[in-house]
Amino acid sequence: MTQIKQMSLELQTLKQKTSQLEQEITQKTSEVSQMKVDLGSAKNKITQLENSNSGFGSVYTRWGRKDCPSNGTELVYTGVTGGGYYGNTGSAVNYVCLPHDPEFIQGDSPGGYATLNGSEYQTIISVIIYITMMCLCAVCRAITKSSVRLAAGADGHDAASEYVCVDHQAQYIEGGGADHNGKLFYKVGAKCGSLPCPPYFDMAPMSCVVCSK
**CA distances for 209 relative to 23, 148, 158, 161, angstroms:** 64, 6, 28, 19
pLDDT tens digits in sequence order for the chain, 213 residues long? 677 777 777 778 888 888 888 888 888 888 888 888 888 888 888 777 666 555 566 788 888 888 988 877 888 889 888 777 777 776 777 888 888 887 766 666 666 666 677 787 777 655 554 566 778 889 888 654 444 444 545 555 555 667 777 777 777 766 555 566 666 767 777 777 777 778 777 877 777 776 665
Distance (Å, whole) CA 128 – CA 41: 55
Q: What is the pLDDT of residue 160?
A: 65
Q: What is the pLDDT of residue 131?
A: 60
Distance (Å, whole) CA 189 – CA 93: 19
Distance (Å, whole) CA 21 – CA 30: 14
Distance (Å, whole) CA 160 – CA 93: 5
Distance (Å, whole) CA 82 – CA 132: 14
**CA distances for 143 relative to 18, 56, 68, 163, 201, angstroms:** 59, 10, 11, 22, 31
